[in-house]
Amino acid sequence: MTGRRIVAVVPACNEAATIAATIASLRAQTRPPDKIVVVANNCTDDTATVAAAAGAYVMVMADNPHKKAGAINHALERLAPYLDGDAWAWAVLVMDADTTLAPGFLEIADRHLGAGVGGVGGTFCGRPSSTVLGQLQRMEFHRYGQVARRLAYRAFVLTGTGTLFAYAALCDVRAQRRAAVMLPYGESFYDTHSLTEDNELTFALQACGYASISPPGMLATTDVMDTIPKLVRQRERWYLGALRNIGRYGRRMPPHLRWTYWRQQAGLLLSAVVAICYLLAVTVTLAVSGSVQWSWWWLAPSVLLLVERVWSVWAMGWRARLYAAAFVPEQLYTLLLTVIYALAFTRWIRGHRGSWAAT
């Protein structure tokens, strides 16, 4: 135990169905938070009532134009008089209201929130889903966790599903936003203009010299999008928001981080270009000859890819293995994500701001 005190802030917009489970997962922590604050954000359901019945302190925002970031800022600004006396003695857990945390989440995060670390984020997995689309997202999230392990648990995004922040680091970010030298101008802890506020705050912490990490054992279980329109809205916001954040920060970001984030975007863009060229080539070939001739040398890489796809989700059980072995569903899912990214990139080039929508 570090002796640090922890306050959990949970922004919630119409989450009456899930907020009790979220609060229960906080109370079940091996190192539970000292205070749980739920911000009932533009709610039209019983979120506030359910959260209060579960024992949380509830702040109600009935007309919040700044969505999730505005709700978190509201809570932190109201808590500031109680936390500012000894900022380094406090940490703030920010998590989504449709998420539950593994029992050891906070204990591990608290242990890793040392000197120079601004935030400790978890990896996330999808809640069980009866739909093909939901299962494919669960598989995607599972593989994302494997990538995090290969990258020595560096966090490129301190996810909104669950991250423990050093309160002093958040105060530093707020001060630097107001000074508008190291960071783009802002008035509070979170940037209310960003489509992806968690990604933007990660940039802000790193630009201020703080590390962001994601150690093993910190698992958050969250919702998946069970329809294509919901998935499109979610991913378009993620992709467009990330591009806008990178462009806005520019040289404010350390060189090695600029290289890392732009390399990721370049990889996504290349994937989109290759997918479009492939589809065009297949379409033209079918139009000209009426069939596609496959050569034997396509077989080896295809088999290797299939084995890798199955092996990487083996721990998820038979259903994930079956979808991976079927191959086509995942390829169609990947193609859908690629098309969404291409559309988001086009909108970014054209200067579209996009809009924030809860997903």
> What residue ranges do the domains of the chain occupy?
5-258
Neighbours of 280 (CB within 10 A): 10
Identify the band that residue 253 occupies on the pLDDT scale cut at 50, 70 and 90: confident
Which one-letter DSSP state was computed for residue 193? T
What percentage of the chain has pLDDT greater than the value 90? 68
64 with 74: CB under 8 angstroms?
A: yes
The residue-averaged pLDDT of 29-34 equals 97
pLDDT at residue 105 in the model: 97
345 with 269: CB under 8 angstroms?
A: yes
Six-digit token pair at 245?
């954040």
Residue 4 sits at φ, ψ, to 5 deg, of: -75, 145
pLDDT at residue 287 in the model: 74
28 with 18: CB under 8 angstroms?
A: no
**Digit-coded pLDDT (tens) for 140-183:** 999 988 877 766 677 788 999 999 999 999 999 999 999 999 99
Type and span of the H or E element at 9: strand 5-12
CA distances from 48 to 32, 162, 358 (A): 21, 20, 17
Rg of the chain on CA atoms, in Å:
21
CA distances from 97 to 17, 31, 164, 250 (A): 10, 19, 15, 32
CA distances from 67 to 40, 57, 173, 195, 324 (A): 11, 19, 20, 10, 37
What is the three-state SS of 136-184? HHHHHHHHHHHHHHHCCCECCCCCCCCEEEEHHHHHHHHHHHHHCCCCC
Least confident of 78-87, 273-282, 321-330: 273-282
**Digit-coded pLDDT (tens) for 41-63:** 999 999 999 999 999 999 999 88
Question: Taking the model in full, what pTM does it have?
Answer: 0.90
Q: Distance between CA 189 and CA 208 in Å, rounded? A: 13
- CA-nearest of 235, 246, 232 to 199 is 246
The residue-averaged pLDDT of 274-291 equals 71
CATH number of the structural domain 5-258: 3.90.550.10
Identify the band that residue 279 occupies on the pLDDT scale cut at 50, 70 and 90: low
**Digit-coded pLDDT (tens) for 186-220:** 999 999 999 999 999 999 999 999 999 999 889 99
Helix, strand, or coil (residue 308)? helix
